[in-house]
Structure 1
């Protein structure tokens, strides 16, 4: 049993009494978010397709003194989503927060992506997020209010080698704005967080050329000159879910170390003056970075 706790920058009771769903909460950024929300008092419901990773994360949270449960179901399946949300409502009676984190993609040139491959990523990253948000709104948030944070990506300049993900993430960003308008009168805020180059287990899902050889040079594409941490993304999510962000809705926050400002007009010298924040005591460095310098 670990004796450490998540070192959040927020007060420990920030989400006390609230129920928060985190899709894709068994690994990577979602796992980190689940741990932080739990450390801040929330009852966290992890959502995924496989039980093993969810059970492990629930066990970790329990060891740390938090409260978590999980539901399983394919977020791309409308009926499965309804069943999962109904089970959350039966057990907890309310849904105060939703983090639409589940998603995925593979690395390939657009010319080499099949129609089925493109559709699978869009259904996972966009349709699934919509179905979960809609179900949570209908079941609870329409009458009780709430906050939603959709996890997107740095898609503003396109995402070469991941055209399917770029399209779906941009769609989710626009959906975020639309839902913020439609659900405002129900007391629901909807925002998005766009991670940049974040060192999470997601790195380990990409194999071979051309992605693997690019990991080492990604920090040079940021003002911070480093990879981001899962905890830095989680901190942004926690802020947008909190009452401190009560006047913020329909926005997308880039957590990317200034990657959007790298335009080649000025060379950024290698530096370590923007050190990483990593409050996640159970963080795991991706295997893909084993041969890559931390800076």
Structure 2
């Protein structure tokens, strides 16, 4: 792709897991990619493993901190002027306790701030920087089909998808498409750390809740995200694409 015609793309949470897989795919497509993460060390580790990531513009940011988030979008506006695409992927990865009475206020607030409020603020600033032809993909979770054992993450996922549909209807008249992807259990660092050997098929089959009998590769989820943001999905509006190996069928 001609660099002068490259899309300006923001991917939140791009230093590992699904976000990193999306960053690499967009980079291969020739897009100009901006990503963010809370931890500089994670990004440096990713660059050491993938030297081509030097072409990515990384910005250290805690999306749950309003001032930090505003600085991120102020930086994007001052350097690039606009956004053509955004993927709201950043998530805390926290798992709530099963009983609400056992949870502190911080534990109650955490999933909703990380999985719903932070993406909602990102949507506000992204839409301010987008014009006709823009595309946004929100990453929720297939766990929103399963109210146990994590009802707060499920509630956040349902809220984000409801927001996706509502904003998609409002902004398609301005030429901006908004969709979401709901991944199931994915072989991210958080999951592999729970397994003694993340590449042991028998152990993975026992651990995976999906009927397909394995975890998704981050690249499989990233493929769905990149497709939704591309011109190949130009007639897809307000849709949630479930990539969960059949989890939502159970």
Q: Identify the structure with the greater helix proportion.
A: 2
Q: Which residue of 1 aligns with 2:123?
A: 133
Which runs of at least 4 in structure 1 moved beyond 3 Å after TM superposition? 55-61, 204-207
Q: Which residue of 2 aligns with 1:173?
A: 161
1:72-221 alignment, distance < 5 Å: 72-104=60-92, 105-111=94-100, 112-138=102-128, 140-141=129-130, 143-204=131-192, 217-219=206-208, 221=209
Structure 1: distance between partners of 2:47 and 2:168: 31
Correspondence 1:255 to 2:237: no
Shift in alpha-carbon separation, 1:197–1:79, aligned structure 2, 3 A: same
Number of residue-to-residue matches in the alignment? 240
Q: Which residue of 1 aligns with 2:32?
A: 43
Which runs of no fewer than 5 residues in structure 2 stay unpaired? 196-202
1:40 CA displacement? 1.0
Which is higher, the Rg of structure 1 or of structure 2?
1
1:60 CA displacement? 5.2
Shift in alpha-carbon separation, 1:21–1:65, aligned structure 2, 3 A: closer
1:17 CA displacement? 0.4
1:204 CA displacement? 4.9
Q: Which residue of 2 aligns with 1:276?
A: none
Q: Deviations over 1:177-215 (max 9, x none)?
A: 1110121122111111111111111215669xxxxxx96
Correspondence 1:17 to 2:6: yes
The answer to whether the Cα contact below 8 Å between 2:204 and 2:214 also exists between their aligned partners in 1 is no
Structure 1: distance between partners of 2:153 and 2:119: 13
Q: Which residue of 1 aligns with 2:198?
A: none
Structure 2: distance between partners of 1:65 and 1:164: 34
* SS in structure 1 of the partner of residue 56 of structure 2: strand
Shift in alpha-carbon separation, 1:20–1:59, aligned structure 2, 3 A: farther
TM-score, L = length of structure 2: 0.87
Correspondence 1:229 to 2:217: yes
Correspondence 1:29 to 2:27: no
Structure 2: distance between partners of 1:101 and 1:55: 19
1:145 CA displacement? 4.0
The answer to whether the Cα contact below 8 Å between 1:100 and 1:150 also exists between their aligned partners in 2 is yes
TM-score, L = length of structure 1: 0.74
